[in-house]
Structure 1
Amino acid sequence: MDDWTPRTKAIAAGRPHGPGEPLNTPLVATSTYRAGGDAVYARGDGTPTWHALEETIGALEGGHATAFASGVATLSAVLDLLPVGSRVVVPTFSYAVTRGVLAHAQKLGKLAVTELEPTDTAAWVAEAATSDLVWLESPTNPTLDVMDIETIAAAARGRVVVDNTFATPLQQRPLELGADVVVHSATKLIGGHSDLLLGITVAKDPEVAAELKGARTRVGSTPGALEAWLALRGLRTMPVRLAEQSRTAALLASRLDEHPAVTRVRYPGFGMMVAFELDGAEAADRFCASTRLIVPATSLGGVESLVERRAWLPGEERVPGGLIRFSVGLEDPDDLWRDLNSALAE
């Protein structure tokens, strides 16, 4: 399997083997196993459906994967491994819920949290040398800044965790850049159809993976059988979905950059996420209310295109008021551009 490309691994890994086996891993809906075998209870031992998903993501990221009930549950598991009083550094612009969970832990006196501008690599290098946990996100949500993972990881004294939800292992492999753990909201691109909640951690060290699995068991943040099965099914098509979405995103980012109503376009040069700014919150709200094909909604990574003015959310007050996060779907690029152009005229 090591000599397969990521596209092939996404399709071929985690499948049953042997004559007479089903081609696809079935949805195994069980909480309990008969006595006498290796598995006893699903909360701690998992199910064949979870294991197949974990094997496939692990093969793509190059590590040991553990599935969780949601993306936020992966953050909780990582924090569960930290002693009280640990120092954590996180990007100023990053997923608002991540910063919210960290802020709550700091309020309770459990952690000391520092926020840094994502692209200030020198500041990150200095802070990483004294922090117990370096939490990176690249590209960042929603500003799409690209962080220098390799340089920061090389300077880190503690554990380095990278949220790889936007890039996926098809476009970035943080474990190869020095990270210790990768996290995903599999709700997004991995699932790809806006129909599940699920998170995944991938650890470089099997002992760290075992610790994360232990944290999952302690708090009961286990994935549902149906959700794991849907995520695995979605993962099989992620390479072709992401490739097509990325092509469309690059095209639309270029056209948006030339539109007189758009004051700034943020596109890292890869991926299916685009952020662009209009002249203030009122203009951005009018835009989101004027699309016909593109849906105003708060998630991303599905087959349908979504837009959202991010600054309306609690914790996103520093995001420019006119910034719109655009999750590019699989619709025809020309239809998407007509809808964008029409809404921008409003």
Structure 2
Amino acid sequence: MAGGNERWSARTRAIVAGRPSGQGQPMNVPIAPASMLGLEYAREDGTPTWAAFEAALGDLEGGDAVAFASGIATASAVLDAQRVGARVVVPRDSYAGTRSHFAHEQDAGRIEVVSVEPGDTGAWLDAAARADLLWLESPTNPSLHVTDIAAVAAAARELEHRPTVVVDNTFATPLGQQPLSLGADVVVHSATKFIGGHSDLLLGVAVAGDPERVTALRQARTRLGATPGALEAFLALRGLRTLPVRFAEASATAARLAQRLAEHPAVSRVRYPGQGAMLAFDVADAERADEVCRALQLVQHATSLGGVESTMERRAARPGDAHVAAGLLRLSVGLEDPEDLWADINRALCSVN
């Protein structure tokens, strides 16, 4: 399979990495709907479709990738390497599904969970002194807080017990940041979101630079039965091929919307980290936020994100996100015309102001 080249940009490598090479090879890796490869089950060593997707994403993140059936399956595999009773530090504002999973593991007595403010580097450093695993998410879902990954990772490396540093890179994507280059041990993604990009698959992926960690992740995938489907891996790779152009376009639109929202009288706060296709903004209260969602005609009132369509949701209404500001609206910016998006959002805001 063709690999990336350090002289090529991420945009080019997203196209060529993991592609079959040699005369007579197909342009794309075929879907491999096989449960057996020779004398081994496919769950043991994967399929050519998985391998192609893993090669391409690993190239962009700077490590070796391991695909899983979902983002939560990926988190489960990472936890699988921790001892019983391990102390896991997580950001207080982060994906509710991950926090719910960790809370379940804590209730079962498998881990101890400690929460810190995502943007408080001092709190991370204090917690790291007694932690086994530091689970960072930057920017966070849904409030778009940013954590100093490099500072936390550097501090963890200096500790004698060397806690594992994991970064959920779903919002930033490997185009926004490469946490392994900042000192993280493992990077995780919900490939369901921006990597797949079309709201048509469930897939997770972990990337690590240490071969032993990669082997452990693959072994956990097998033990947990968290293997990705052949079609899902194929679709995720196809989505990854266009990620650079999709992400650049959506990010440019998000920046324009963030600027206009900051000037709107119905908006009290805009949360935008300066790059990426995700933003959030606050209106006066939950009632007005719900009215804005109901008034939308182009932007989809939906819970997922990262697709070609723009979606908006009041996250505090979702289970597990009661800590989120009541009037916060999370916006995933898609590929619609920026002026059409603004007209829709502005009209919805003006209808409740």
Tell me the TM-score normalized by structure 2: 0.96
Runs of 5+ in structure 2 lacking a partner? 157-161
**Residue type of the alignment partner of 2:26:** P
Q: Which residue of 2 aligns with 1:335?
A: 340
Q: Secondary structure at the match of 1:161?
A: strand
Distance 1:317 1:151 in 2: 29
**Residue type of the alignment partner of 1:222:** T
1:125-274 correspondence to structure 2 within 5 Å = 125-156=125-156, 157-274=162-279
Q: Which residue of 2 aligns with 1:12?
A: 16
Q: Secondary structure at the match of 2:37?
A: coil
Structure 1 residue 255 displacement after superposition: 0.2
Structure 1 residue 70 displacement after superposition: 0.4
Structure 1 residue 345 displacement after superposition: 1.4
Structure 1 residue 29 displacement after superposition: 0.9
Structure 1 residue 155 displacement after superposition: 1.3
Q: Secondary structure at the match of 2:36?
A: coil
Q: Which residue of 2 aligns with 1:308?
A: 313
Contact in 2 for aligned 1:129/1:155 (Cα 8 Å): no
Distance 2:109 2:89 in 1: 15
Q: Which residue of 1 aligns with 2:159?
A: none
Please state if 1:24 is matched with 2:38.
no
Q: Which residue of 2 aligns with 1:71?
A: 71
1:289-328 correspondence to structure 2 within 5 Å = 289-328=294-333
Distance 2:64 2:226 in 1: 18
1:86-125 correspondence to structure 2 within 5 Å = 86-125=86-125
Distance 1:271 1:310 in 2: 19
Structure 1 residue 47 displacement after superposition: 0.4
Distance 1:197 1:143 in 2: 23
Distance 2:37 2:300 in 1: 43
Count, aligned residues = 342
1:55-70 correspondence to structure 2 within 5 Å = 55-70=55-70
Structure 1 residue 222 displacement after superposition: 0.4
Q: Which residue of 2 aligns with 1:2?
A: 6
Distance 2:219 2:22 in 1: 31
**Residue type of the alignment partner of 1:25:** V
Structure 1 residue 108 displacement after superposition: 1.4
Runs of 5+ in structure 1 lacking a partner? none
Structure 1 residue 104 displacement after superposition: 1.0
Distance 2:237 2:37 in 1: 22
Q: Which residue of 2 aligns with 1:279?
A: 284
Structure 1 residue 33 displacement after superposition: 2.1
Structure 1 residue 198 displacement after superposition: 0.2
Structure 1 residue 34 displacement after superposition: 2.8
Structure 1 residue 99 displacement after superposition: 0.8
Distance 1:34 1:55 in 2: 22
Please state if 1:33 is matched with 2:37.
yes
Task: Give the ranges of 4+ consecutive aligned residues of structure 1 lying more than 3 Å apart after TM superposition.
Answer: none
Tell me the TM-score normalized by structure 1: 0.98
What do residues 104-162 of structure 1 show as CA deviations (whole Å, max 9, x unaligned)?
11111111110000111111011112200000000000010110000011112310000
Q: Which residue of 1 aligns with 2:45?
A: 45
What do residues 77-116 of structure 1 show as CA deviations (whole Å, max 9, x unaligned)?
0011111010110000000111111111111111111000
Distance 1:15 1:119 in 2: 39
Q: Secondary structure at the match of 1:66?
A: strand
Structure 1 residue 292 displacement after superposition: 0.3
